Structure 1
Amino acid sequence: MSQSRGRPRKASAELLQEAAFELFQVQGYRGTSVEQIARTAGFSRATFFNFFSSKSELYWLDTDVLLDDLSAHLEDRLGIGESVPLREALLSHAESMSSANIPWALQNFRLLESADDLIAGGAGRVLRLNRLLESYLQRSAPESDLIERSATAAITTALLITALRGWINAGVSRGSFRSQLERILSSGA
């Protein structure tokens, strides 16, 4: 029986992210080097780049997990054999969200002195979210108009991000993400 060597890939990425966030709180984003992050996590600089293309990519590990979870949820909705409206699919996914799911960087980005890096890295995630929603709409209603699907996906992407930002900013009084999302979807869609 062969044994796996080394740390699991995901655990290693999470260790690097944890070390980085600790250093960012103490030294700030700009004052923390990739070398320091790697060393604090017990890795080499080269190992850091096996997981992340840049220091700003550390912010997005948790967000990528959320997008993966949403993708899997939407796939499940498509797999049940009946057309579930996108709104309902998103609301049912929102039920699984808790405060523990909020990416640390999205709650604390003001402390990190790196809004530009956060925005640059976030753009690709917004596009990924939009593609997920557009794909869901296309697969759940293939006869629908391409322009209408694209517009619905773009509007829903904006509403979903607005709901998430409002939910994060509400702090301890935030309530459930589903209720926040439902309120935003009702007001904007």
Structure 2
Amino acid sequence: MSPDTIKGDNRSYVVFAASLSGVVCGCAFVWLTPLLPQLKSENSEVPMTEAELSWVVSIIEIGDIFTPVPSALLADRLGRKPVLLAFGPIQLAAWLIILLSRTVAGLCVARFIQGMAMGIMYSVLPIYLAEIASPAVRGSVGIIVQTSVYFGQIYEYSIGPFLTYSQIIWASIPLTVVSIVKAPN
């Protein structure tokens, strides 16, 4: 979508809708952190050793390595918007794996997928926002990416200590669904 096809208030909506993917990334990145005391306990919903827990937490970064270059190339070939639209279903699939899986292997797979989706968002969203923003506000729009990620992190840190494993997932999935439904048209 070129800047010429997005007029006035529609640009604000498109920027807001696109930045929801940043919120989802922030949630995906830190949702596990408030649960660490629960996951380390004997009554954990997903029993794991300290080493396994460190892999589950950190494997998201490994997934993040694989997608920035391919997604940027796809964005040049297919367009920024179609590649960004693929982000939501990928994140939703990861959340569903997390919800349904109670194994370390399942969590590692889901976190790896979340990392891959993060790589898509971090490589394509800034380009997309820069292209739809007018030159006068391009710098301001550029900070929205990281600000939206921080908002997702704050959301998880705010609710996480008060929720169980299943509850925090159920509290996170709707944000992903909203990012899919409100995706820029």
Query: TM-score if structure 2 supplies the norm length?
Result: 0.37
Higher Cα Rg: structure 1 or 2? 1
- Report 1 or 2 for greater relative contact order, CA contacts < 8 Å, sequence distance ≥ 6: 2
TM-score, normalization by structure 1:
0.36
